[in-house]
């Protein structure tokens, strides 16, 4: 850890010195969100989007992860392994899971290079350091990192504060959930020469037992930023990181009887005796991971409306998850059986740790030019990932020679380069056109020894892909209306788990067509759009999990998503507002075939997995008196299948959940500038629901050797019943 920190700080300050010596920092443009201008789009751009301000983020920020704070955006479905929004959480947009949602922080890719996922648990309370969020549904405009097949999620960290501040936020709630957050800022300081400076920081700690049994979370994080700026230049160095220790709760609940009568049961860490009978739980069945992020941004406004952005970044991640394994074969770990008291012992109980140790670093850049009627952006990125995967046995009931030896060890290296050009041109008073061309190159290779259900095996593969992603659109504005039509092409490489499970796996491609209408007046806001997403070789989740909890995906030759999204805001009275949104969709595999009962069967045009046909949200905002806000939030998710064959056992029932949020701001003149009290009642009508799960099949050839029968089953992730969070924020 120490050597990585020294290296990155040397890189950051070396880059600042280089910039000063070479005249990059000669002479504040608008300092708010200049770091994300190249990867975001304006409200008039021909893409479907939702924007969230810092004030909206703070309303519900009582310790839950960012996916839970985005829950009420259009066509968004969220879930929590621990059941209450703390720990491992997930998000799906238009039926696409987190591995297909491109996420950037200040334009820097966040998705893991191999799994393509985003693990918010590694960055607890990051919402407290977030200035704004933009969610572009569908392909959207070009960005950095993995291809966007469901959405692009752009986060901008806190901007520069004019005045010094300090803030303490405390919250507590159900399941022994506690959050402590301390933030501070120096305000703008006079610095050396022409430059001014500003420093901010945050430390956070979140603890929770979780709704599910033993699904505890112990989360710590830190955020630091230093800004140096003058009239034309901004230099911003950012360091943030987190350490999470969570008891594993990603196994789900396979027993339908327990789902009815013991829905918080967690099978993780079950210990069996020599007869295979349950005797208790292993108390350290945890996921323990640390991740440090470093970013250096240089933004300069040249003469003649040229704006340049240059960023360097480095992420260091390391950690393990620990598992108790009952009755494991010595041979699976590469060891020979042993003899004890004259008896051959071929199996043993073990405690194993599966490790990740990875480095991710690179640069992003963009150059913006503004003409009278034309805006042009040229940008791109080069990133490299180097990740080690290895496992160690830390305890064995028999066979002490196994301890601390690596029983598997492999390395994944991925290089990702992209370059893009964007232009929007205004024609007269009403028309504007947009074009966006991106080229992306990926070089990915893995070698070494892996470990799976059948023990150790050699692992060696490599893949290279070149993708061309054009996007274009037109916008027509008249009075209070905007109409837009856009086309966007996306290509995406398989993730690590896809390569491991299928030697013939292929990249996927998507043609996304969007037709929208936006209307805005003093009392009424309406954003509505129709989309058609046509896929080739879409990597669709089968519903099954592999031995380490990754969802298994397969190529579907032809599939599509067709939908309508409506987002609105209505000022009913001066102190009463209604913010409803609705998403209706058809999500289909075309001519689905699958092996079932020993033969290839046709299932017709089936629903795509994890893709509900209806998603509805509502937020009623009432302000009975000044500084008192009451929000009544509702969410309805239609039924969905966890398989692509519409098997009845793979169906998740629809659910309707309601929350109540109350906040009051007390402005004081002594000691504190303000005190904000917040209370949130989640699932206030105590609905028992399941938001996520998995579906598995296997062939039974034992009952009748002459007849292959497919056995099916499902696992479920129950969500919390009625629960609450209370918070107070003290501003100095």
CA angle 703, 708, 709 (to 5 degrees): 75
**What's the pLDDT tens digit per position in 49-79?**
999 999 888 888 888 889 999 999 999 999 9
Q: Give the model's confidence band at 33: pLDDT under 50 very low, under 70 low, under 90 confident, else very high.
A: low
**What's the pLDDT tens digit per position in 338-385?**
999 889 999 999 999 999 999 999 999 999 998 889 999 999 999 999
Q: What is the pLDDT of residue 228?
A: 92
**What's the pLDDT tens digit per position in 279-325?**
999 999 999 999 999 999 999 988 888 999 999 999 999 999 999 99
CA-based nearest residue to 375, from 236, 297, 475: 475
User: Span 233-262, mean pLDDT?
Assistant: 93
Burial 118-129 (b: 16+ CB within 10 A, else e): bbbbbbbbbbbb
**What's the pLDDT tens digit per position in 164-205?**
999 999 999 999 999 999 999 999 998 777 889 999 999 999
User: Span 628-644, mean pLDDT?
Assistant: 96
pTM here is 0.92
In the predicted structure, residue 698 carries a pLDDT above the cut 90: no
**What's the pLDDT tens digit per position in 71-115?**
999 999 999 999 999 999 999 999 999 999 999 999 999 999 999
CA–CA dist 122, 18 (Å, integer) = 32
Report the chain's mean pLDDT, rounded to a whole number: 91
Q: Give the model's confidence band at 31: pLDDT under 50 very low, under 70 low, under 90 confident, else very high.
A: low
| Beta-sheet strands, E only, within 270-427 | 270-272, 278-281, 286-301, 306-329, 338-340, 343-345, 347-370, 374-396, 406-427
The answer to whether the CB of 565 falls within 8 A of the CB of 48 is yes
In the predicted structure, residue 15 carries a pLDDT above the cut 70: no
Q: What is the pLDDT of residue 21?
A: 42
Domains of the chain, CATH where assigned = 2-342+361-731 (2.40.170.20)
The torsion defined by the Cα of 50, 56, 59 and 61, in degrees rounded to 10, comes to: 70
**What's the pLDDT tens digit per position in 607-635?**
999 999 999 999 999 999 999 999 999 99
**What's the pLDDT tens digit per position in 487-505?**
999 999 999 999 988 888 9
Q: What is the pLDDT of residue 190?
A: 81
Q: What is the pLDDT of residue 5?
A: 47
**What's the pLDDT tens digit per position in 313-324?**
999 999 999 999
Is pLDDT larger for residue 546 or for residue 293? 293
Q: Give the model's confidence band at 722: pLDDT under 50 very low, under 70 low, under 90 confident, else very high.
A: very high
The torsion defined by the Cα of 647, 537, 89 and 418, in degrees rounded to 10, comes to: 180
The answer to whether the CB of 298 falls within 8 A of the CB of 106 is no
């Amino acid at each position: 850890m120490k050597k990585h920190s020294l290296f990155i700080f040397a890189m950051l300050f070396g880059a600042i010195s280089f910039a000063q010596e070479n005249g990059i920092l000669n002479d504040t443009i608008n300092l708010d969100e200049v770091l994300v201008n190249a990867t975001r789009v304006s409200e008039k751009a021909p893409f479907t989007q939702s924007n969230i301000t810092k004030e909206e983020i703070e309303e519900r920020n009582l310790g839950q992860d960012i996916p839970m704070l985005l829950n009420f955006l259009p066509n968004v479905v969220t879930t929590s392994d621990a059941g209450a929004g703390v720990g491992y959480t997930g998000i799906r947009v238009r039926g696409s899971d987190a591995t297909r949602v491109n996420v950037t922080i200040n334009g820097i890719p966040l998705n893991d290079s191999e799994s393509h996922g985003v693990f918010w648990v590694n960055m607890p309370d990051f919402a407290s350091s977030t200035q704004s969020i933009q969610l572009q549904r569908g392909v959207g405009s070009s960005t950095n990192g993995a291809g966007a097949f469901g959405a692009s999620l752009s986060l901008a960290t806190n901007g520069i504060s004019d005045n010094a501040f300090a803030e303490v936020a405390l919250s507590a709630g159900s399941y022994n959930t506690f959050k402590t957050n301390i933030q501070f800022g120096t305000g703008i300081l006079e610095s050396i020469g022409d430059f001014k400076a500003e420093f901010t920081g945050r430390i956070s700690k979140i603890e929770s037992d979780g709704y599910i049994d033993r699904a505890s979370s112990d989360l710590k994080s830190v955020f630091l930023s230093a800004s140096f700026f003058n009239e034309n230049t901004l230099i911003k160095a950012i360091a943030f990181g987190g350490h999470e220790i969570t008891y594993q709760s990603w196994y789900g609940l396979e027993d339908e009887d327990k789902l009815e009568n013991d829905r918080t049961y967690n099978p993780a860490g079950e210990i069996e005796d020599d007869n295979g009978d349950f005797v208790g739980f292993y108390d350290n069945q945890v996921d323990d991971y640390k991740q440090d992020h470093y970013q250096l941004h240089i933004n300069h406004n040249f003469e003649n409306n040229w704006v340049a952005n240059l960023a360097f970044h480095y992420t260091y991640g390391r950690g393990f998850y620990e598992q108790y394994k009952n009755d494991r074969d010595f041979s699976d770990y590469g060891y020979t059986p042993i003899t004890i008291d004259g008896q051959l012992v071929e199996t043993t109980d073990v405690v194993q740790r599966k490790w990740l140790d990875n480095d991710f670093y690179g640069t992003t850049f963009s150059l913006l030019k503004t003409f009278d009627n034309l805006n042009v952006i040229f940008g791109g990125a080069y990133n490299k990932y180097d990740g080690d995967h290895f496992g160690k046995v830390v305890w064995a009931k028999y066979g002490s020679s196994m301890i601390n030896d690596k029983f598997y060890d492999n390395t994944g290296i991925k290089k990702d380069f992209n370059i893009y050009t964007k232009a929007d041109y205004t024609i007269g008073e009403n028309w504007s056109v947009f074009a966006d061309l991106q080229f992306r190159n990926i070089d990915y290779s893995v070698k070494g020894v892996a470990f799976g259900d059948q023990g150790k095996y050699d692992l060696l593969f490599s893949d290279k892909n070149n993708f061309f992603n054009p996007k274009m659109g037109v916008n027509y504005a008249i009075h209070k209306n905007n109409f837009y039509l856009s086309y966007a092409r996306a290509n995406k490489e398989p993730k690590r788990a896809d390569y491991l499970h299928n030697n013939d796996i292929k990249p996927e491609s998507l043609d996304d067509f969007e037709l929208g209408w936006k209307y805005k007046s003093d009392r009424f806001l309406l954003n509505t759009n129709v989309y058609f997403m046509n896929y080739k070789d879409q990597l669709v989740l089968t519903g099954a999990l592999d031995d380490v909890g990754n969802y298994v995906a397969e190529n579907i030759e032809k599939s599509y998503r067709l939908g309508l999204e409506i987002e609105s805001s209505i000022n009913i009275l001066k102190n009463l507002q209604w913010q409803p949104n609705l998403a209706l969709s058809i999500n289909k595999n075309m001519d689905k075939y699958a092996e079932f009962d020993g033969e290839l069967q046709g299932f017709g045009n089936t629903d795509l997995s994890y893709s509900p046909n209806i998603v509805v949200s509502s937020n009623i905002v009432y302000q009975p008196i000044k500084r008192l806000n009451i929000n009544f939030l509702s969410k309805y998710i239609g039924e969905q299948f966890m398989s692509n064959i519409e098997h009845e056992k793979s169906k998740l029932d629809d659910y309707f959940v309601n929350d109540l949020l109350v906040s009051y701001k007390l402005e004081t003149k002594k000691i504190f500038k303000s005190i904000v009290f917040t209370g949130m009642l989640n699932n206030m009508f105590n609905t028992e629901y399941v938001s996520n799960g998995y579906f598995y099949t296997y062939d039974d050839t034992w009952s009748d050797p002459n007849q292959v029968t497919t056995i099916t089953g499902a696992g479920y992730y129950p969500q919390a019943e009625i629960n609450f969070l209370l918070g107070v924020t003290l501003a100095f």
